[in-house]
Every structure is written in structure tokens, then in C-alpha cells.
Chains A and B, each alone.
Chain A
Amino acid sequence: MTTTIQFPVSRIEGHAKVIVDISNGQVRSARFLAQEYRGFEQFLQGMPADQMPVIVPRICGVCSTSHHIAAVEALEDAYGVTPPDIAKKIRHLMMVGQLVQNQATSLFFFTMPDKLQATSIFGADENLGKETLGSISKKAMAIRKIGTELISLAGGQFIHPVKAVVGGVVSGIDRDAAAVMQEKIKKALPLACNLFDEYWKLTEKLAETVGHWEGDDPFYYMVAVDKHDPTLPVDYITMQRSDNSETVTFSAADYAEHLQFHRVQDSFSSKTSFNDLPIRANSLARMNLIENPGTPIATGYLERFRIEFGTPAHQILLFDLCRGIELINGLERANSLLSENLQEGEMNVPVTPRDGIGYGLVEAPRGPLIHNFHIKDGLIEKAGFVIPTVHNNFAIEQALTTMAKRYVSEDRIDLGLDKAMGWVVRAFDPCIACATH
């Protein structure tokens, strides 16, 4: 007998569902399907290239900063422009703001409720005292806000930033405003550490009940960050096999030669593989592949993480802990960036638009993101978006299948399956609006 069970997934960005196929008491497969679509690659055709930095952030309101900057860099690549250093720093700060915002949201709003057996972090739930949740969500809100304030400060608009333009940024950051922001960060940092410690304990507890699960099949980790500063993107992608036996690097322009894209009938998102194996991008990939986060408190956390779980560590639930390390790293990094001169000097260089092909690569919170534009007569002839969640899709399904098997036996399906599917998906923090665009 064959049964198919469907679960809509909440507390992630966008519309998706998990489908588990069971036949004769055995899990055949578990799949993760994206259910929305807007068609960016199609409707951008014919639009003026210079409008891209305003339009493409709307691919996703969660990671819009990545799209904003990837688009600007793709145009700069096409036009042969190098922005001044100060503009690069301001863009870097924007990305750090987004990292803080994203990791805090994923950690405290999306996955912490799972660890507390609640449906949300706002205390609408009966199982837990309203006070407990109320105080957690207050702290979580304050930490997360630092991220959006950083995006506003560096990017102008708070969700769909506007300040990165081809050639640089429109304006700098006022020294006084930077100092005010630093004060806020200094206050938020102990709060963030405190809540993350709490989170770490809860994760260990959850691991006691569900065990450490990772699956033994090989896969590749994928990152595009500096080995000593995981908030800083580099201009090449690194793929490392999970058993450390192979490392490959390639540039954004060569992505199509290295990655295989698979289309499916029942999802608006495709899936990527590398050497026909699944890929894992996102926090765990970064924390496994870097040497150190480059800031003191985060380095302490990563050392503790490596002692407890080894390097590389492959357990799925560890994505969440790595997000916490990155949250702390982001706060520390933002603080040091804000000490630099971001106010005086050349903010942008002159630009002469020209036709051609450009690639922009940034490390979004979910992994390496590439924008590719073909420009003709100043208009977009072809636009391509290579999305981190798409890289993770096979790995998500692999992990879902491994997990589902624990809840399904010959004679029964454990009712916890629904929740467990949610845990797995959220560990990868997928973004459906991005994945389908």
C-alpha cells in the first residue's frame, strides 16, 4: 500500500510543503516543494539595466540586501567598474546587517519555538508560560532590530536598500550616527550571547530526544567567504567534499560548468548538484570551511563548537548553532566596521554603461548567490539568478528522508512526523521567494 502525506511548512520564508511517500510501512522518499512563483527571469527581460538594483531586492524581503548588492556588482562587472574602498566597506556593513537580521530571525523566531515546543515565540501558546516566551521574544526583537538598523544606516531603506549604486554608494555614514549605532551594538551583544547560550542548551536537549542525525552519504559544502572573516564575500566559490577528500574552486562566471541544475514537475524551484552529489550551503558550511571568524567572542564560540562536535561537523541541527555563532560574529564585525571612516572620501566613481555580460557574487545568509545579466542597448536581454536555497534542495530532501524513516515503521506512523519535518526544513532556513523568484 502506498500513502502520500503532505505537510505545509510554516516559520520559513515563503510557501512550501513537504511530501512523504510511504509504501508498505517504508519511507520511499521525502520531498520539499516550492509553491509560489513570480517569474523574475522572464519579466526582467527588456527592462533598463540600471533599474535592477531597485527591482531585484523585491525577489525577497528577507535577504533583499544580498540581491541589491549582487545586482550592483553584476552591473559593475559588465561595465568594468571598480567601486572605491569606502563604498566596499559600506556594502560590507549592509551585508553584516542583513546577516544579523537573518540569523536572529531564523534562530529566535523560526527555530527556537521548536525547541520550546511552542507554535510561535510570542506566547500565544498554552504549554509554556506567557512570561517565559514574552521575555525571550522581547530580547530576540531587540537583537534582531540591530540588524535592520544596520541595513537602514548603510543601505538607506530598511528592507529593500537603495544606497549601493553602480560605481559605489550614494552617500556615506555620518560619524555620530555610527557612534550611536556602536553603543546599541555594545548593549545588544551580551543580550545576544545570553539568548544564544540558552539556545545552545535547548539544542542539546532536543538532540537528547531526537539524537544526532546527519546521514552518511557524501555531499559537498559550498561557500564564498574569506577564511578569516565569514562575513566578507570573496570572488570565487569553494566546494569541499564532506569527507575532506576534495576541494574545488571556481568563479561566478563558470558556475554553469560546475553545477548541475535539475528541474522537477511539482515544484517551482529547481535543485542543484555538484559532481552529482547534494550540496550544503549556509551557516554550517561556512563554520566548517573557515579557519576562524576573526572576532574574539565568536572565535570562542566556534572553538567550543569544534571541541563538542568536531571539524567538519555534519549534524543537521548544527546549522542552527552555527547561525548563533554568526550572529555574534556579525555584531562584533559591525562594531569594528563602524569604527572606520565611512564618512569622508570618494563614495563612487564615474561610470560609463556599456553592453555586455556581468556576474555578481555575494555570500547571502543562505550561501553563495550569483546574479548574471546580459545587457543589450542598455536593456536586460537575459537575467539569471543562482540561488543558495536551490543548492540546498537535495540536501534538504536527503535529510527529510533520513528523519522520516525514524518516524515511520511497518505498523504505524508516529504523530511527531509533522513537527520533525519542520525541524529539518528550518535547519536549512530555506527561502522560497528566492528559490523560485
Chain B
Amino acid sequence: MRFAVLQLTGCAGCEVSLLNAGDELNLANLAYMPLLVSAHDVPEDVDVLLVTGGIRTDEDLLKLRDSAGKVKKIIAVGTCAISGGVAGLGDRHDIREHFLAQANKGRVPRMLPKCSPIDTEVEVDNYLPGCPPVPELYIKLLNDPQSLKTTSIVCKECGRKKPKEIRPDTLTAGIHKDIDPELCLVKQGQLCVGTSTRNGCGAICPRAGFPCVGCRGPSNNLIEKDADAWFESLISIFRRMTDIDPVLISEALKSPHFALFLFQFSDYADTELEKRPKEKVL
């Protein structure tokens, strides 16, 4: 199987993660990936095209359309390609015009009015969310895609304990501290969203003591619902697990500047988040 990686506007983290998986992959089959291979275009004989980054410029758009026609299967990899991610933050209402005016000044690729996920332009066969997806996910994706089918929530891989009798009543604002490495961070009053985020990452952040920020996106139960359903579910989980004022939780979660938006709702500026069928999300 020949595969290629098309890099649109992103941070290259998704590509670096793929490289981390390198010793388990047959990279001699890598036909195109500007970060690692000198080839000017996606060649004709490619089976799987991984696309990273969002469609931010006219060049991104041209490259995507051109490459899509040459390949058998397209996989959107990483939050930027799936929902705009960090590349899409320039779309925030209050700064968008300023951003576009600033960016479209010289003889450079033109910024499109909006940064778009790649499935607004081409048919996507699968989505591999994460910022970036961990190497293990790439290995499964490229070597044994069937093994990716079932996912659950990050808590399943985190394993921190959630004793019933511990019920914090204050939200620890901004400052992160891991007081007890065995104890669930929500039980420590932190805004961990691992309870409704899809797993597969190995819970690396919460296990290291930092709350999950949701980079793998909503779990299967929530993925076909809208953003509000995700928020509601999180709020009710906090109500069940803590005595923190639900209004505070709601405010903290919905603050349009919470990092969660970076990962999932960066296109909140104008449109609803596209709903992706859960069978397609890996």
C-alpha cells in the first residue's frame, strides 16, 4: 500500500507524530510528504492520502483538490484537518477582519475568508482526530485499520480513582497541581474533560497530572450530537462527581477562549460543527 501525506496549514505536529511511529511503519511506501520526502506532488499511484492541517489559503485549496483526484482513499488527520483547530482560530468573530486585512497584504498565498475542515471540499473516508494523534493510532491506521473500530472515553485509559465520598466544591482556577497522582483530576476540582473525550491516546495528559483538554474530540455517544449536548453532558458529569456550582462549570466550559475550542469548536465563529458519522471516526 502506497501512502502520502498532504500538509495544509497546521503546525507539523501531526507529521512529527507519524514520524514517531516510523519504526513500525514501512516508510519506504511513503510516496509524498514534503517534511520528509523531496517530491513536488502527490504521485498517481497512491492508495491512501493522509491530510493534515486546515484549508486556510487558496494554495491549500488547490493542492487538496488536485491531490484528492489522484488517490483511492482520504483520511483527515488531526484537529486542524477535521475542524480547523489552531489554524482556524483566526476566524474568531472579533478578530477575523483584522486578521484577514493583515494577512492579505502582499504577494503571498491568499487567505480564504474562512479556514475550513477538509471535508467541506473533498469526500473523506475516515477521520483520525487528535492534536496530534498518538503514534500508536497511526500504526493501527496504516497497518491494521480494523483494530481501530471501538473507542471509549479517556477515563478508561487514565485509571485515576473517583471515590464517591470525595466531592470538591471549588473549581481550581487556571493553576494546575496534581495533589494525588491516584486521584481523578475532577475530584481535585480541575476541569478535566476526559469523561466525554474519545480515547485511544493512552490518557497521556491526565496521567501526567494535566487535565484532558479534549483534543481527540467527543466520544462516540456524543459525536453525532451538537456541541450543546457535549456541554450538557459534561455539566451533568460534574454535578454527579462534585459539589461545584454548575453555573461556574458551564461558564468555564463555554468560555469561548477555553482551549477546548481550539480543538473542537474553532469554527464556532459562523457555522455549526459538521456532524460526522461515528463509523468514520477512528
Give complex CA distance A58, B80 in Å.
11
B257 contacts which of A12, A35, A47 (Cβ < 8 Å)?
Answer: A47
The 7 A-B residue pairs whose C-beta atoms are closest, nearest first, are: A61-B13, A156-B208, A50-B174, A265-B106, A170-B209, A162-B210, A171-B209
**Residues of B in contact with A (beta carbons under 8 Å apart):** 7, 9-17, 19-20, 22-23, 27-31, 34-40, 56-57, 59, 85-87, 89-90, 92, 94-95, 98-99, 102-103, 105-109, 111, 131-132, 134-135, 173-178, 181, 204-205, 207-210, 213, 255, 257-259, 262
Chain A residues 392-437 with CB under 8 Å of chain B are 422, 433
Give complex CA distance A38, B12 in Å.
13
A-B contact pairs, 24 of them (CB 8 A): A8-B40, A14-B12, A15-B34, A35-B57, A35-B59, A36-B9, A36-B56, A37-B9, A37-B111, A38-B89, A43-B95, A48-B174, A50-B175, A54-B259, A58-B86, A61-B16, A64-B11, A105-B19, A123-B28, A170-B209, A171-B209, A266-B108, A353-B174, A433-B10
B38 contacts which of A105, A119, A156, A162 (Cβ < 8 Å)?
Answer: A119
B114 nearest CB across to chain A (Å): 13
User: Contacts A37-B103, A159-B13; is A422 near B257 (CB within 8 Å)?
Assistant: no
Give complex CA distance A12, B131 in Å.
21
A116-135 near B? 1/0 per residue, CB < 8 Å: 00011111100000100010
Among the 9-residue stretches A138-146, A180-188, A206-214, A219-227, the one with 4 or more Cβ atoms under 8 Å from chain B is: A138-146
CB neighbours of B106 from chain A (8 A): 264-267
Size category of the binding interface on chain A: 35 or more
Give complex CA distance A14, B35 in Å.
7
CB neighbours of A105 from chain B (8 A): 16, 19
Interface contact B20-A38, CB-CB below 8 Å: no
Interface contact A141-B208, CB-CB below 8 Å: no
Interface contact B27-A122, CB-CB below 8 Å: yes
Interface contact B12-A433, CB-CB below 8 Å: yes
A36 contacts which of B57, B107, B134, B205 (Cβ < 8 Å)?
Answer: B57
Chain A residues 147-185 with CB under 8 Å of chain B are 148, 152, 155-160, 162-163, 165-167, 170-171
A153 nearest CB across to chain B (Å): 9
B50 nearest CB across to chain A (Å): 15
Give complex CA distance A152, B20 in Å.
12
Interface contact A165-B20, CB-CB below 8 Å: no
Interface contact B19-A162, CB-CB below 8 Å: no
Interface contact B59-A109, CB-CB below 8 Å: no
CB neighbours of B37 from chain A (8 A): 10-11, 119-120, 122, 124
Interface contact B28-A10, CB-CB below 8 Å: no
CB neighbours of A144 from chain B (8 A): 19
A34 nearest CB across to chain B (Å): 8
A47-83 near B? 1/0 per residue, CB < 8 Å: 1101100110011111010000000000000000000
Interface contact A433-B257, CB-CB below 8 Å: no
B212 nearest CB across to chain A (Å): 10
Interface contact B89-A39, CB-CB below 8 Å: yes
Q: Is residue A299 within 8 Å, beta carbon to beta carbon, of the partner chain?
A: no
Interface contact A62-B12, CB-CB below 8 Å: yes
Nearest A residue to B78 via CB reads: A61
Give complex CA distance A37, B175 in Å.
31
- How many residue pairs link A and B with beta carbons under 8 A? The number is 207
Q: Is residue A113 within 8 Å, beta carbon to beta carbon, of the partner chain?
A: yes
A39 contacts which of B30, B39, B40, B90 (Cβ < 8 Å)?
Answer: B90
Nearest A residue to B111 via CB reads: A37
Give complex CA distance A64, B213 in Å.
17
A164 nearest CB across to chain B (Å): 10
B9 nearest CB across to chain A (Å): 5
Q: Is residue A311 within 8 Å, beta carbon to beta carbon, of the partner chain?
A: no
B201 nearest CB across to chain A (Å): 9
Give complex CA distance A60, B15 in Å.
11
Q: Is residue A315 within 8 Å, beta carbon to beta carbon, of the partner chain?
A: no
Interface contact B12-A13, CB-CB below 8 Å: yes
User: Contacts A122-B30, A134-B28, A158-B134; is A42 near B90 (CB within 8 Å)?
Assistant: yes
Give complex CA distance A105, B17 in Å.
12
Give complex CA distance A165, B205 in Å.
13
A27 nearest CB across to chain B (Å): 21
Interface contact B208-A171, CB-CB below 8 Å: yes
Nearest B residue to A56 via CB reads: B86
CB neighbours of B131 from chain A (8 A): 58, 160
CB neighbours of B11 from chain A (8 A): 58-61, 64, 433
Q: Is residue A137 within 8 Å, beta carbon to beta carbon, of the partner chain?
A: yes
CB neighbours of B39 from chain A (8 A): 10, 119
Nearest B residue to A144 via CB reads: B19
Give complex CA distance A159, B10 in Å.
14
Q: Is residue A268 within 8 Å, beta carbon to beta carbon, of the partner chain?
A: yes
B134 nearest CB across to chain A (Å): 7
